[in-house]
Copies of this chain bind each other. A is one copy, B any other.
Amino acid sequence: MKKKECIVLLSGGLDSTVLTHYVMRRRDRMPIALSFNYGQRHKKELNLARQTAKKLGIKHKIIKIPLDKLFDNSALLDKKTKMPGEHYTHKNQRVTVVPNRNMIMLSFAIGLAENLKISEVYYAAHKNDHAIYPDCRPAFLNPMNKASMHATYSCVQVLAPFINKTKKDLVGIGYKLDIDFLTTWSCYEGKKFACGTCATCQERLEAFHKNKLMDPLEYEIQ
């Protein structure tokens, strides 16, 4: 069977790495990984995205867009902003939102799909994101998918197969797919070891714990 090419947004974080492996495992799909150098706080994830694409033997494109020069209200774009230590569902975590990030990235992915006559774009939105990140919710995904289909001659679909799955589910899927979790990075800080205290570290550790698995990453604080 000839595999049909599709585009997968791959940041190098846990969610999108699991998604890329998940799509790759299908007999009928061949992912092209798409990453963004958008002025994020650190490049650890981007380097891991390169590793994952290389390991899977898939094409990988990195697009440079200057979101850090455009937006001044996100802790993910500004190294000086302190990361709030609260739970990932806490209102304070809104400081980690990059305005409209997923729509911006998806719009490039959809354009690239249209250019290559590809009809599917995947991204790794999941249920735990819903509390803080509006562009990870079904209420966004559904009209976004519709807008994409109407904006393109190839009728490009936007798909988020994990939208109703939790981070716990994703770690479980990754485990079954035999993913080396050392090739994924979640911590908002870009230090040698994951901090273990920021919201995304807490969420990741919780997801491993609920699966009765050990996260192989090294943490400053466990």
Contacts and interface: CB of A to CB of B under 8 A. Distances in A.
A103 to B, nearest CB: 4
Contacts of A104: 104, 107-108, 111
A193 interface: no
A66 B64 contact: yes
B112 A71 contact: yes
A70 interface: yes
Interface in A76-131: 94, 97-104, 106-108, 110-112, 114-115
A144 interface: yes
A135 B112 contact: no
Interface string A50-83: 0000000000010111110011110000000000
A111 B70 contact: yes
* A73, A103, A134 — most chain B CB neighbours (10 Å): A103
Contact of A103 (B135, B139, B147): B147
B107 A151 contact: no
A200 to B, nearest CB: 20
A99 B70 contact: no
Contact of A150 (B65, B70, B111, B134): B134
Contact of A115 (B72, B143, B148): B72
A111 B140 contact: no
A98 B143 CA distance: 22
Nearest to A110: B100
Contacts of A106: 107
Contact of A70 (B94, B97, B112, B139): B112
A135 B107 CA distance: 12
A91 to B, nearest CB: 11
Contacts of A101: 111
* A71, A100, A137 — most chain B CB neighbours (10 Å): A100
Given A65-B65, A94-B153, A143-B143, A148 B70 contact: no
Given A99-B152, A106-B107, A143-B150, 5 more contacts: A98-B111, A99-B111, A100-B148, A103-B147, A140-B150
What are the nearest 4 A-B pairs in CB distance? Answer: A100-B111, A143-B146, A99-B114, A143-B143
